[in-house]
Amino acid sequence: MQLQGKKIVLGITGSIAAYKAAMLVRLLVKEGAEVQVIMTPASKEFITPLTLSTLSGRPVLSEFFQNADGAWNSHVELGLWADAMIVAPATASTIGKMACGIADNLLVTTYLSMKAPVFVAPAMDLDMFAHPSTQRNLEVLRSYGNHIIEPAVGELASHLSGKGRMEEPQAIVQHLKDFFFADKNLVGHKVLVTAGPTYEKIDPVRFIGNYSTGKMGFAIARECAEQGAEVLLVAGPVSLPTPHPAIKRIDVETAVQMYEAATELFPECDAAVLCAAVADYRPTVQADEKIKRTEDNMTITLQANPDIAATLGLQKRDNQVLAGFALETNNEKANAHAKLAKKNLDFIVLNSLKDKGAGFSVDTNKVTIIDRDGEQEYALKSKADVARDIVSYLSRLLIVALFLFMPSQISAQELNATVTLNTSKVQGTNTEAFDVLRESLTEFINNRKWTEYTYEEHERITCNFTFIVDGYSDDGSFTCSLMVQASRPVFGSTYNSTIFKYEDQGIKFTYQPYDRLDFTEDNLDNNLTALIAFYAYIIIGFDMDSMGEMGGSEFLNKALNIANNAQNLGDSGWRAGSTNNNRYTVIDDYMNGAMEPLRLLVYRYHRLGLDTMFKDAEGGRKVITECMNLLKEAYENRPLAYITKLFTEFKQDEFVNLYSYEGGESEKREVVKILSEINPSQSDAWDKIEKSAFK
Ligand code: PMT
């Protein structure tokens, strides 16, 4: 059910492959998606609306107005409703209409109104598919950011065999899943990419150039944009359209122009990938007029072009990542290593013209990524897939660079967390992974802005996240328990008062060194960051409850939302009802109206009690004793709630300190009575208070 709750508009056009749409709808529904089918009039010749409405559980839309009552089928609303649109099968005609904006049916009008990503699965005869018109239209759709699901090679309706068969429904669903679960590792980063050849003018009609088409560099630019980066693409003379709407393209012709653009833009970028095949030399003199044939031999004197990579290598700051390419024909690795060092690159992508299917012009490439620590060889792949490998390498280095060269003066945020990993139970495993995880987590918790408020350095809430790692394997899977503890200073004292403490058991997550830790409220795929965000909001919420009566609702509700959304994760720690002290129940109990007395207690205890104690010990303690009645009230409202018991547990030492030495006998007895009723398991601690009453 990986597509649970996703809203999909499925556009079906008039192709024999329309019969596969029935299977596609079934698979999408099986994955938990809501599917709204839109058919072009021609598609109804191939499959009936009845089949599709039965499978999707929704009436199929086809006309602008409904025949029965004339109601408008709003393409605009569908464009806003959908999480994705798939056009499958997509005929040459519909692809052409989409490329040119010919909105003469509901499918194309919906496409033009679509706010969500669009996937297009072409289906047609091989010659139609290969025709430059179709190919150009597909390029146009790509340049709009649409995802083209390439047709497969096989037998076609025409009984010819070739490329044009619509991809199988399973593969289309997989594309969709890949998209929804794709890495977005470059969000917030700016990446410079150079691509294509340069042309060095000899005279007005001739130039020195090379065979680069720009395909490799454009694929890298597209992948960076797909992963959320802002991309600046400096392109030599190529005939490719800009492959993604989020790319800013700067067209140049010569190496000098490329040099000027790249050196100007690099300082504002976090990374650069230099894929262009830059001419090393240019004619010293460019003739104004066409050079006439005279002698049998002629000589053109060349002068060196600036080396863009080497210049950026000199400019590079510690927190920037610089990657280059090496196109070699011999001594490949030695040459690549020499370029890596000479140009001060962080890594270099080697492709050799000796490898079939690699290098210029072709749609595939075979590369080896080399950095100072080693190298990794990759198989022959499409340039899109090679780009994915390169960008994933790049994003890992970017995290390291940001991490190692983070400005030491971080801005004060809400939490001042210490993360500890107790790994004694898994000794002998790769400890680098633990160190990196600890540092990444510390950075994630401390540098994220969890609220829109400004916290001064001294206002930050001190908290400890202590993981006891019970299991770890090299694929990055962890099993642990976690102790979360948060406290804040008591006004005018050196004493810290605990505001939340909880031990969480059986946590499972995966983490590979340098995985980017990020969290968005609607994406809980990363169990680790969802968990940390949950506790961050609880800590902030409890802290705000201690500052003002019920002051933390906004953030406690965020924690509740995460717990609600996370209940579908396989991890039982989130599930309501699985035990009475799981994460969900802890927050759900606290936010329940019956717990209002406890929330008021959190405020009165800290602000009126502990803070008063600084000036007037007796007065402050009396306020706290009165607060105990609020605790009792909360307990009586919901005797089974775990949160009241939890509160007595993490405040236990504080209570013992407060009452062991000060306070009247009846006061102490009353307190012990309440605490023992709520939490008899801590009787040893309450006995200490009881005994002090007789001193
Ligand atoms: O565009 P395609 O048809 O898809 O082909 C892709 C490609 C083969 C062009 C690409 O994969 C590739 O290998 N690009 C680099 C080609 C090249 O010029 O390599 P090089 O070994 O000569 O240069 C080494 C590095 O220095 C490159 O990153 C290059 O961009 C850079 N360089 C070179 C010369 C120069 N004056 N300035 C530079 O920045």
| Residue 242: Cβ-neighbour burial (10 angstroms; 0-12, 13-18, 19+) | buried
User: What is the 429 CA–ligand 1 centroid distance (Å)?
Assistant: 40
User: What is the 279 CA–ligand 1 centroid distance (Å)?
Assistant: 9
Q: Tell me, what's the pLDDT at 408? A: 46
pLDDT band at 69 (very low <50, low <70, confident <90, very high): low
Q: Tell me, what's the pLDDT at 240? A: 92
Residue 214 to residue 221: CA distance in whole angstroms: 10
Question: Residue 247 CA to chain centroid, in angstroms?
Answer: 19
**CB of 202 within 8 A of CB of 208?**
yes
Measuring from each residue's beta carbon to the nearest atom of ligand 1, which residues come in under 6 Å?
194, 196, 212-217, 255, 274-278, 280, 305, 307-309, 324-327, 339, 351, 359-361
Q: Kindly tell me if the per-residue pLDDT of 409 is higher than 50.
A: no
pLDDT in tens, 44-54: 999 999 999 99
Q: Tell me, what's the pLDDT at 522? A: 65
Ligand 1 pocket: which of 193, 325, 367 to mutate (most atoms within 8 A of CB): 325
| Residue 131: Cβ-neighbour burial (10 angstroms; 0-12, 13-18, 19+) | middle
Q: Tell me, what's the pLDDT at 681? A: 93
Q: Which fold has domain 7-181?
A: Rossmann fold (3.40.50)
Q: Tell me, what's the pLDDT at 393? A: 93
State the angle between helix axes of 132-143 and 92-100 in degrees (0 to 180), rounded to the nearest 10.
50
pLDDT in tens, 176-229: 988 887 778 898 899 999 999 999 999 999 999 999 999 999 999 999 998 989
The 10 Å Cβ neighbour count of residue 127 is 13
Percent of the chain exceeding pLDDT 90 equals 67
What are the φ and ψ backbone dihedral angles of 598, each rounded to 5 degrees? -65, -40
Instruction: Choose among 537, 653, 550, 551: nearest CA to 595.
Output: 550
Q: Tell me, what's the pLDDT at 411? A: 61
pLDDT in tens, 660-677: 877 788 899 999 999 999
User: What is the 603 CA–ligand 1 centroid distance (Å)?
Assistant: 64
Count Cβ neighbours within 10 Å for each residue of 186-202 and write b for 16 or more, e otherwise. Answer: beebbbbbbbbbbbbbb
The 10 Å Cβ neighbour count of residue 251 is 14
SS3 state of residue 201: strand
pLDDT band at 77 (very low <50, low <70, confident <90, very high): confident
Residue 686 to residue 674: CA distance in whole angstroms: 10
Q: Kindly tell me if the per-residue pLDDT of 513 is higher than 90.
A: no
| Radius of gyration over every alpha carbon of the chain, rounded to an integer in angstroms | 32
Name the residue with higher pLDDT: 534 or 432: 534
Instruction: Choose among 309, 306, 305: nearest CA to 327.
Output: 309
Which residue type sits at 360?
A: F
Average of per-residue pLDDT values in the chain = 90
pLDDT in tens, 366-386: 999 999 888 999 999 999 999
Q: Kindly tell me if the per-residue pLDDT of 525 is higher than 70.
A: no
What are the φ and ψ backbone dihedral angles of 428, each rounded to 5 degrees? 95, -10
Atom of ligand 1 nearest to the CA of 326: 21
Ligand 1 pocket: which of 212, 328, 383 to mutate (most atoms within 8 A of CB): 212
Residue 157 to residue 364: CA distance in whole angstroms: 28
Q: Tell me, what's the pLDDT at 456? A: 81
pLDDT band at 88 (very low <50, low <70, confident <90, very high): very high
Q: Tell me, what's the pLDDT at 358? A: 96
Q: Kindly tell me if the per-residue pLDDT of 21 is higher than 60.
A: yes
pLDDT in tens, 296-349: 899 999 999 999 999 999 988 888 999 999 999 999 999 999 999 999 999 999
What pTM did the predictor assign? 0.57
Instruction: Choose among 367, 370, 371: nearest CA to 353.
Output: 367
User: What is the 275 CA–ligand 1 centroid distance (Å)?
Assistant: 5
As beta bridge partners, residue 117 has none
Catalytic option among 210, 319, 344, 422:
210
Percent of the chain exceeding pLDDT 70 equals 96
Atom of ligand 1 nearest to the CA of 213: 3
Q: Is 210 a catalytic residue?
A: yes
Q: Tell me, what's the pLDDT at 178? A: 84
Q: Provide mean pLDDT across the span 462-475.
A: 92
User: What is the 188 CA–ligand 1 centroid distance (Å)?
Assistant: 27
pLDDT band at 71 (very low <50, low <70, confident <90, very high): low
Q: Kindly tell me if the per-residue pLDDT of 530 is higher than 60.
A: yes
**CB of 99 within 8 A of CB of 111?**
no
Running DSSP on this structure, what letter comes out for residue 63?
A: S
pLDDT in tens, 34-44: 999 999 999 99
pLDDT in tens, 383-406: 999 999 999 999 989 887 776 665
Q: Provide mean pLDDT across the span 158-175.
A: 89
Query: Both tokens of residue 206?
Result: 């001739």
The CATH superfamily of 190-288+302-404 is CoaB-like (3.40.50.10300)
Q: Whose CA is nearest to atom 16 of ligand 1?
A: 277
Task: Find tokens 């406690």 and name the residue.
Answer: 556
- Flag the least confident range among 38-47, 435-444, 637-646: 435-444
As beta bridge partners, residue 12 has 39
Q: Tell me, what's the pLDDT at 160? A: 79
Instruction: Choose among 63, 46, 172: nearest CA to 120.
Output: 172
pLDDT band at 68 (very low <50, low <70, confident <90, very high): low
Residue 280 to residue 87: CA distance in whole angstroms: 46
